[in-house]
C-alpha cells in the first residue's frame, strides 16, 4: 500500500513537473503598433478618418489590420484585414488610409528581427477603433 502510494505520488509529481514547464513558442514575426506608435517610426502616417455616413448611422467597430512593409523603402507593399471592424465602410476607410502609410526604413531596420530582414519586409499590425 505504502509503495503504491509513493509510486502514485512520484507519477503525479513528474506529470505536474512536465505540465508546468514553459512551452517553447515561435516568436511572431510581426510588430503591433498603435497609430500613435506608428507615427513615431513613420514618415507619413495620416490619421484614419471616420467616414461621415458611418458616423451618422452610429456604426462602431474595432479591427486589426496587417501591413506588409518593405524594409528598404518603408512603403506598404500589401495589407490584409486580420479582424474586421464589422462594417465594410469602416474597413474600407481604414485600408485606404493604411495603404498610404510610409515608414522610415532606418527605424524599421532597427526593430526588424532576422526573419524580417531575410524576407525584406516587416509585418506591422495596426489596431483601429471606431467609437462615437
Give the DSSP per-residue string, 53-101.
HHHHTT--EEEEEEEEEETTT-BEEEEEEEE--S-HHHHHHHHHHHTT-
Q: Which CATH class is domain 26-130?
A: alpha beta
Q: Provide the residue-wise pLDDT of the chain in tens; the chain has 132 residues.
A: 444 333 333 333 434 444 444 333 344 567 888 878 887 888 999 999 999 999 999 999 999 999 999 999 999 999 999 999 999 999 999 999 999 999 999 998 888 888 888 999 999 999 999 998
Amino acid at each position: 500500500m505504502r509503495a503504491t502510494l509513493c509510486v502514485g505520488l512520484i507519477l503525479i509529481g513528474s506529470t505536474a513537473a512536465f505540465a508546468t514547464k514553459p512551452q517553447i513558442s515561435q516568436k511572431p514575426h510581426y510588430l503591433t503598433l498603435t497609430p500613435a506608435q506608428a507615427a513615431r517610426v513613420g514618415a507619413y502616417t495620416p490619421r484614419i478618418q471616420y467616414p461621415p455616413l458611418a458616423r451618422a448611422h452610429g456604426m462602431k467597430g474595432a479591427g486589426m489590420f496587417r501591413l506588409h512593409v518593405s524594409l528598404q523603402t518603408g512603403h506598404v507593399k500589401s495589407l490584409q484585414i486580420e479582424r474586421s471592424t464589422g462594417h465594410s465602410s469602416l474597413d474600407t476607410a481604414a485600408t485606404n488610409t493604411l495603404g498610404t502609410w510610409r515608414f522610415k526604413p532606418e527605424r524599421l531596420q532597427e526593430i526588424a528581427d532576422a526573419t524580417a530582414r531575410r524576407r525584406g519586409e516587416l509585418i506591422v499590425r495596426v489596431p483601429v477603433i471606431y467609437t462615437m
